[in-house]
Amino acid sequence: MVNESTRLSARDWAQAALKAIADGGLAAVAVEPLARTLGVTKGSFYAHYRNRDELIEAALAEWVRTHGEGGLAEFAAITDPAQRLRDLVTAVVQAVQPLAPSVHLSLLGDRGDPRVRAAVAQVNRVRLDLLTRTYRELGLPAERAEYRARIAYAAILGLQHLAQTEPDSSSATVLSDEAAAIFLPS
């Protein structure tokens, strides 16, 4: 029989913790329920982490990695800024599932935790930098590009919030086309 601690990686635990965070914030990260969800014993957890705090730190690092620069790399590589913005907005809008929990939005409830503040700040900074760069490449002056990036990012987070709280039968394609039309300078 294969030892269960070798079947699951530390990353598996971190990803399970992220799902728990999306569902209920940091308070939802508990070893026993996560072990049950993963179909293993607590021993598997202790093969990778000393305690819950280490798991939370690993989960936040995973989120920063997958939703910061790593998650935006394919968009950052698009050379045409208008296409980059369209593709980014389309990906965000089409990825939003009705009533699907969002790690980012759930973390806002735990913003008093310094680890959460640091992770959210990192992800926000990377996303805002990409949007600002995109608007600069579209010809907006630096200050205006930064403001436009903030407004676009706030709207994107707002779309995520609406999808979590008010499922809509609107087509994701229509929403992404409308969002791109709003966010692209004329």
pLDDT digits (tens, 9 = 90+) for 118-143: 999 999 999 999 999 999 999 999 99
Kindly give, in sequence order, each residue whose CB lies less than 8 Å from that of residue 30, ignoring residues fewer than 6 positions away.
Answer: 20, 52
Mean pLDDT value of segment 9-28: 94
Could you tell me the pTM of the whole model?
0.86
pLDDT cut 90: percent of the chain above it: 61
Does residue 6 register a pLDDT over 70? Answer: no
pLDDT for residue 97: 61
Q: What pLDDT, on the 0 to 100 scale, is given for residue 78?
A: 97
pLDDT for the residue 168: 60
Q: What is the 3-state secondary structure (H, E, C) of 83-140?
A: HHHHHHHHHHHHHCCCCCCCHHHHHHCCCCCHHHHHHHHHHHHHHHHHHHHHHHHCCC
Give me the mean pLDDT over the 171-183 stretch: 76
Q: What is the pLDDT of residue 29?
A: 96
Q: How confident is the model at residue 164 (pLDDT cuts 50, 70, 90)?
A: low
* E strand residue ranges, the chain: none
Contact 18, 28 (CB under 8 A): no
What is the mean pLDDT of the segment spanning 149-174?
A: 76
